[in-house]
Amino acid sequence: MAKSSRKKVIKKSLQVKSKKSGITHQIDDFDGFEKLAKSVLEKFKTDNQLQLAQSIKFQEAIRAVSLDARYLTSYSELEVYRICFDGLSPLSIAGSLACGGRFNVGGSQISTHFAYDMAACIYVASSINCAKAETGPHRNSEIYQLSLLKSVKLWDVKSLLSAQENCEYLIAAIDKSPFNTQWSLQKFPTPSQILGSALRAVGGDGILYPSTKCKGGVVFGFFVKDEADANAKLKANRIIDAQLELTVQMQGAP
C-alpha cells in the first residue's frame, strides 16, 4: 500500500501579552494574524501619505489667511475644567511637549517637511461634561477646576476661519480628526497644529474652539512656554466627589 503524499501541516501559534492588562493572548491562526497585521500596516501607510498631503495643502492655505488681532478676545475671569489621570499634575506640560496635542506641535510631530518648533499647550473645557467627553474614559482620573491668575487674550478660531473666503475648507480641515488619535504616533503636524503654530507666532495667549465631542461645549488651549509660565497664568483646584454632589444640589435648587 502506497504511503500518503500529504505533508504534515505544522500549526504555528503566537502568544501576545497585553501591556495594559498583562493578559497573555494565544493566537493559533498565525498566518491569518500576519495577513491582518500587514493589511493594517498598509492602510496606516496610505492614510499617513494622504494626511501628509492634506497638511502640506493646509499650510499653503493658512499662509494666505489674515490673522487679524480683532479675533483675539480678552478674558480677566474664566472657570474651566480639566481631567487628569495616573497622578499627572493639572498644569504639567511634559506630555504636551513630548506628544503634542490638537493645537500644539510636540516632539513626535517634528518633521523635515515642516519648520515648526515644539510648543506646550494646556487644554481645558468649558464644563465638566465637556472635559469628560474630550478626555474619554480613564482609570484613576481626577477633575480640576482651573481659573485665571492674570488676564489673557484668546483667539476665537471659529470666528477667524468663518471670515475667510475658503472658510468651508479651513473649518473642515480643523474639525476632521487626525487619522491617528494617538499623538505620539503622529509623525508630522496636522492642520489644527499648523494653525495653532501660526497663531502663536502672531501673539495671544491661546485659543478657544467649539468642542467636536460635546455639543455646546468649548475647548480652550492656553499657550505656555514652560511650567513656570503655566503656574503664573493658571490656578488649579481639585474637585472631589462631595463638591460635585453639592454643585448638582445647588443647580437643582429652586
Closest to 104 in 3D by CA, of 86, 117, 91, 120: 120
**Residues near 178 by beta carbon (within 8 Å), at least 6 away in sequence:** 51, 186, 190
Least confident of 43-52, 61-70, 172-181, 228-237: 172-181
At 201, the pLDDT band (50, 70, 90 cuts) reads very high
At 105, the pLDDT band (50, 70, 90 cuts) reads very high
Query: What pLDDT, on a 0 to 100 scale, did the predictor assign at position 137?
Result: 76
Amino acid at 143: I
56 or 141: which leads in pLDDT? 56
Query: What pLDDT, on a 0 to 100 scale, did the predictor assign at position 174?
Result: 92
Distance CA 175, CA 171 (A): 6
At 9, the pLDDT band (50, 70, 90 cuts) reads very low
Q: Crossing angle for the helix pair 30-63 and 191-202, nearest 10 degrees?
A: 30
- The residue assigned the cell 475648507 is 169
At 249, the pLDDT band (50, 70, 90 cuts) reads very low
Query: What pLDDT, on a 0 to 100 scale, did the predictor assign at position 10?
Result: 47
Distance CA 66, CA 116 (A): 19
Q: What is the mean pLDDT of residues 85-109?
A: 91
Query: What pLDDT, on a 0 to 100 scale, did the predictor assign at position 48?
Result: 81
Tens digits of residue pLDDT in 24-82: 776 666 667 677 778 777 877 887 888 899 999 999 999 999 899 999 999 999 999 99
**Residues near 183 by beta carbon (within 8 Å), at least 6 away in sequence:** 99, 100, 101, 106, 108, 109
Q: Is pLDDT at 180 greater than 60 in this prediction? A: no
Amino acid at 30: F
At 106, the pLDDT band (50, 70, 90 cuts) reads very high
Q: Is pLDDT at 114 greater than 90 in this prediction? A: yes
